[in-house]
Structure 1
Amino acid sequence: MPTIKSSYLGNLRTESEHLQSGVKIISDAPVDNNGKGEAFSPTDLVASALGSCMVTIMGIVADRDGMSLEGLSWEVTKVMQSNPRKIAEIVVDFHWENPVEDAAALQKLKNAAKTCPVALSLDSSVKQTLNFNF
């Protein structure tokens, strides 16, 4: 059974529907690749998925171990290359206002982030730079 149903809307724009929830997202080609840049580009979605996946897995570990990730935020920077045009690097900067004070717990969360399914699925040529600002 499909997970996502998508359609081309024209003008380098797509719509994808998550079939279980009915939630829809739009993607648009970026300005530097003939698009309007009015929505996430497909490569933006890949970069965003990496950060979201990392925090989701960190959340699973935190819940299991009785920790709270309250105050955790992150920023994602996508670096493109040309010839061929592809993602060269994804930088994820994590910020946490009041992290847990247990060094072993923090390391466990960092390890969880590094082994999330998206991180493990990306080709090794895509550099993943993680900055844990906590």
Structure 2
Amino acid sequence: MEIARIDYEGNLHCNAIHLKSGKEIETDAPTDNNGKGEAFSPTDLMSTSLGLCMITIMGIKARDMNIDLAGTSISVGKVMASNPRRVAEIHLRIEVPTVVSARDRDILEAAGKACPVAKSLHPDVLQAVEFEWASA
């Protein structure tokens, strides 16, 4: 099933169109790999996808538990390796403004860490995830 169309625009810039919604994402090569860093790089998107997937799955679980995670923010970082050039580490800091019990935190964190992107990444990619929960 087709989900997107990607057009190479030249000068290391691409435009991806989500076919169902028509939403667009622009990319550029990173500055450390011949680009200008004018947009997300493909590896930026991969790293960001982990955070997006985790909070989406946490949001689904939280909704089932009648917990509101609105206002949660995620800081995303990545570390590149060479030989071969690849993402070696993805660092996420998930800041949740919602006060929940320790039991509910454990359930939500486990749900996030079991998201499809986390399970699809190669085991050599370190997923360093830190949660910061609001306290009462």
Common fold by TM > 0.5 = yes
Q: Report the 3-state secondary structure (helix = DSSP H, G, I; strand = E; otherwise coil) of the residue aligned with 1:119.
A: helix
User: Which contiguous aligned blocks of 4+ residues in structure 1 show a shift greater than 4 angstroms?
Assistant: none
Q: Report the 3-state secondary structure (helix = DSSP H, G, I; strand = E; otherwise coil) of the residue aligned with 1:76.
A: strand
Residue 26 of structure 1 aligns to which amino acid in structure 2?
A: E
Q: Report the 3-state secondary structure (helix = DSSP H, G, I; strand = E; otherwise coil) of the residue aligned with 2:63.
A: helix
**TM-score, normalization by structure 1:** 0.96
Matched, 1:67 2:67: yes
Matched, 1:112 2:103: no
Q: CA deviation at 1:108?
A: 0.5
Given that residues 92 and 130 in structure 1 are in contact (C-alpha distance below 8 angstroms), is that contact kept between their aligned partners in structure 2?
A: yes
Corresponding residue for 2:20?
Answer: 20
Given that residues 69 and 97 in structure 2 are in contact (C-alpha distance below 8 angstroms), is that contact kept between their aligned partners in structure 1?
A: no
Two-structure CA RMSD over aligned residues (Å):
0.9
Q: Report the 3-state secondary structure (helix = DSSP H, G, I; strand = E; otherwise coil) of the residue aligned with 2:119.
A: helix
Cα distance in 2 for partners of 1:99, 1:76 equals 23
Deviations 1:65-105 (A, max 9, x none): 111113311101111011111000001001123321x1111
Given that residues 69 and 99 in structure 1 are in contact (C-alpha distance below 8 angstroms), is that contact kept between their aligned partners in structure 2?
A: no
Q: Report the 3-state secondary structure (helix = DSSP H, G, I; strand = E; otherwise coil) of the residue aligned with 2:60.
A: helix
Deviations 1:28-65 (A, max 9, x none): 00011001100000000000000000000000000011
Q: Percent identity?
A: 49
Residue 103 of structure 2 aligns to which amino acid in structure 1?
A: A
Cα distance in 2 for partners of 1:64, 1:93 equals 24
Corresponding residue for 2:82?
Answer: 82
Residue 66 of structure 1 aligns to which amino acid in structure 2?
A: N
Corresponding residue for 1:54?
Answer: 54
Matched, 1:41 2:41: yes
Residue 18 of structure 1 aligns to which amino acid in structure 2?
A: H
Residue 2 of structure 2 aligns to which amino acid in structure 1?
A: P
Q: CA deviation at 1:115?
A: 0.3
Cα distance in 2 for partners of 1:99, 1:117 equals 26
**TM-score, normalization by structure 2:** 0.95
Cα distance in 1 for partners of 2:60, 2:21 equals 21
User: Gapped runs of 5+ residues in structure 2?
Assistant: none
Cα distance in 1 for partners of 2:17, 2:124 equals 29
Number of residue-to-residue matches in the alignment? 133
